[in-house]
Amino acid sequence: MRILGVDYGEARTGVAVSDELNVTAQGVKTIFGRNPEKVANEVSEIAKQYNAQLVVVGLPKNMDNSIGFRGEATLEFVEILKPLIDCPVELWDERLTTVSAIRVLNETNTRGNKRKNVVDTVAACIILQNYIDFKGGK
């Protein structure tokens, strides 16, 4: 069983996938675009390609646990995505994952356009890996 991880963003959306044993998360790609319907269609195609049986979407929350503007946009995206895929969609608290992704990219000395192009995919990996670790793998 594979799990897809998604870091939905305003201009870029990162996508990651688990291995079949749900031990590790690997980056798949960054989807560029602001149209949530187009992004949802591309995520659904990736889910089919990897035969994902679950999609985990990072939900950005404020530090006080409230849902802000980006969280509301993510909830709307999930409602667009759900009818396009044949598996459940779960939301996962993604607070500080972009900060963690930037830290990883700093440690690997990734700079400039390359950094901008992969930060969301790295964030999707972190979201998915946190989910896998919390659930204990399978």
pLDDT, tens digit (0-9, with 9 covering 90-100), for 21-30: 999 999 999 9
Q: Please choose, from the candidates 17, 23, 15, the residue with its C-alpha nearest in 3D space to the C-alpha of residue 53.
A: 17
- What is the reported pLDDT for 94? 84
What's the CATH code, domain 2-135? Answer: 3.30.420.140
Helix residue spans in 50-111 (DSSP H): 69-81, 97-107
- What is the reported pLDDT for 101? 63
- What is the reported pLDDT for 76? 97
In Å, what is the CA distance from 61 to each residue of 4, 66, 70, 95, 97?
20, 6, 8, 6, 11
Distance between CA 128 and CA 22 in Å, rounded?
10
- Domain spans in the chain, listed from the N-terminal domain onward: 2-135
- What is the reported pLDDT for 109? 62
> pTM (2 decimals)?
0.86
Distance between CA 18 and CA 5 in Å, rounded?
8
Angle of CA points 120, 73, 128, to nearest 5°: 40
Q: Give the residue ranges of the chain where pLDDT is below 70.
A: 96-102, 104-117, 137-138
- What is the reported pLDDT for 110? 58
